[in-house]
Structure 1
Amino acid sequence: MRNILYLVRHAEATGQEPSARLTSKGKQDAKDLALFFQEKGIKMILSSPYKRAISTIEPTAEALGLPLNQDERLVERCLSPVPLTNWRMHVQKSFDDEFYSLKGGESSLDAQARILSVVNSLTKPTIIVSHGNLLALLIRSYQPTFGFKDWEEMGNPAVYALSLTEKKVYLVR
């Protein structure tokens, strides 16, 4: 059987902090995702423990009758332990140089290894709910041309299908 993973970037949220909630639009998009995933044969749901990620996939978990499993390895990539005013510039640098990291932060290579440790442990059709930068790095590991501009164009939510059999990623929603 072809193993498909659905990579979901969380829906629109009120902020970036771990406790940020979904906006009204984000809540509606979360309900729409539940309809989208109804006939996909999903066997497992893994989510970042951040509130916006959990809230994005809760309606799907309820509709499918599946537990919502939280995994710390799916939290957003840490650019820096302190707030940055020019964080976009640092994200771009990290796409250009996978070893680039700020003091106390995570390089693209380290963040990519973290999420690949999740993916490499999966053996059944699974939804993975996480955050834009981390998911972009995962996609890049299968599709090396996926870069900073692609990350900038990711929606909230965004859904990508990763075929582990073909080792290819497809934008599906």
Structure 2
Amino acid sequence: MSKNIYIIRHCEAEGQSANSPLTEKGFVQANELSNFLADVKVDRIISSPFLRAVQTIKPFAEKKKIDIEMEGRLTERILSSIFYSDWMEKLEATFEDLNLKYEGGESSNEAKNRIIGVVNDILASDAEHTIVVAHGGIISLLLNHYDKNFGFEQWKALGNPDIYLLSHSQNDVAIKRLWEN
């Protein structure tokens, strides 16, 4: 059976904390996203519990009358529990060494395994068409799992929002970017 998983990065948000809401522009984007997805067949919606992710998909979920399932494994990757002024260089290094781990954070491989677990659960389910809403860091690691060329520069190029379609059939996976900023 073929399965489609729509991987959506949240719309523009006011910050990075779990409770950061969408900006005014982000709410407009969420409605545009809902319209963009209007004709997409969807069996399930699974979202990071972070407010910005839920607010991103809420207009679509309400329009389609589909419950949003919260999934803790979709939260954003924690780079470190301490602030680094050179955090961008530190993040880039984690794309080069997937086991590199900073104080209080998780390695790229640890974060990647979380989101791969969600995808594997979806593949084992009866749902044929699933939306997953998450964050740029963890989404980029998922895409890197399927395409080793997806790295730091591609992470930087992700938009808010952004949509990738993972099409699974047998043991074959195709990745296609659907959203152009």
Normalising by structure 1, we get a TM-score of 0.97
Q: Which amino acid aligns with 1:168?
A: A
Q: Deviations over 1:130-162 (max 9, x none)?
A: 000100000010111101000000000000001
Rounded Cα–Cα distance in structure 1 between residues aligned with 2:75 and 2:86: 21
Question: What percent identity do the matched residue pairs reach?
Answer: 37
- Structure 1 gap ranges (5+): none
34-43 or 53-62, larger mean C-alpha shift: 34-43
- Structure 2 CA distance for aligned equivalents of residues 97 and 30 of structure 1: 34
Distance (Å, rounded) in 2 between the aligned partners of 1:170 and 1:138: 13
Q: CA offset at residue 114 of structure 1?
A: 0.6
Matched residue type, 1:41: K
Shift of 1:37: 1.6
2: CA distance between counterparts of 1:35 and 1:7?
16
Instruction: Tell me what 1:146 maps to.
Output: 150
Contact 2:82–2:103, Cα closer than 8 Å, also in 1: no
Does residue 1:48 correspond to 2:51, yes or no? no
**Residues 79-100 of structure 1 deviation map (CA, whole Å, 9 limit, x = unaligned):** 1122332221111000011011
Measured in 2, the distance between the counterparts of 1:155 and 1:70 equals 22
Q: Is the aligned partner of 1:112 residue 2:112?
A: yes
Give structure 2 stretches of 5+ with no counterpart.
none
Separation (CA, whole Å) in 1 of partners of 2:131 and 2:86: 32
Q: What is the CA-CA distance between 1:36 and the residue it aligns to?
A: 1.6
Match of 2:22 in 1: 22
Relative to the length of structure 2, the TM-score reads 0.92
Classify the secondary structure of the residue corresponding to 1:121: helix
2:10 aligns to what? 10
Partner of 2:137: 133
CA distance in 2, matches of 1:109, 1:46: 22
RMSD between aligned residues = 1.0
1:172 pairs with 2:178: yes
Distance in 1, matches of 2:64 and 2:146, equals: 28
Structure 1 stretch displaced more, 148-157 or 123-132:
123-132
CA contact (8 A) 2:111 2:141 kept: yes
Q: CA deviation at 1:112?
A: 0.5
In the alignment, the residues of structure 2 paired with residue 44 and residue 136 of structure 1 have an alpha-carbon distance, to the nearest angstrom, of 22
